[in-house]
Amino acid sequence: MVYSRRYYSPLGDIILAADDTGLTGLWFADTQPHMEEGVSKDAEARPSPFFDEAARWLDIYFSGRDPGFTPTLHLTGSTFRNRVGELLLKIPYGTTTSYGEIARAIARERGVERFSSRAVGGAVGHNPISLIVPCHRVIGSDGSLTGYSGGIERKIALLKLEGIAVRA
């Protein structure tokens, strides 16, 4: 069973989803195109310690500080998407990386010369636990801000919140 809760952030309402294992989703309510993949229409609104952890993380994050912990997560995508999510979790607060850098890391892990940045981009774009799994910290290899399913304006605001200089 999947449960849901709403969190009110300075950048708009957020929908949280969790199952009995951990947090499975975090989306801005008004813009996330993949939310339906993680929350069924019959998701039950109920308290959960996973929501409490996520809300504490979000409170600290939106105060402009590194939360210093990761709430209990339950990555439920494909093996590849979950691996990309694990690599995203390694991007430190206040820093960015590129799709190409993530693709090179996957290539090294697989013992191959190259791996597709586009495939990485697809996995990043389908990240079901945005903010906590920090897909907003991924930028183009030329430093450009690329898409963000929460909206490019939110991506800019999140990067600025973390003290990252953003060139528009």
- The closest of 164, 160, 162, 158 to 26, measured between CA atoms, is 158
Q: Are 36 and 135 in contact (CB under 8 A)?
A: no
Residue closest to 85 by CA, chosen among 42, 4, 26, 5: 26
CB-based contact 99:78 (threshold 8 Å): no
Q: Which residues are catalytic?
A: 135
Residues contacting 59, CB < 8 A, separation 6+: none
Residue type, 40: S
User: How many angstroms separate the CA atoms of 154 and 136, rounded?
Assistant: 9
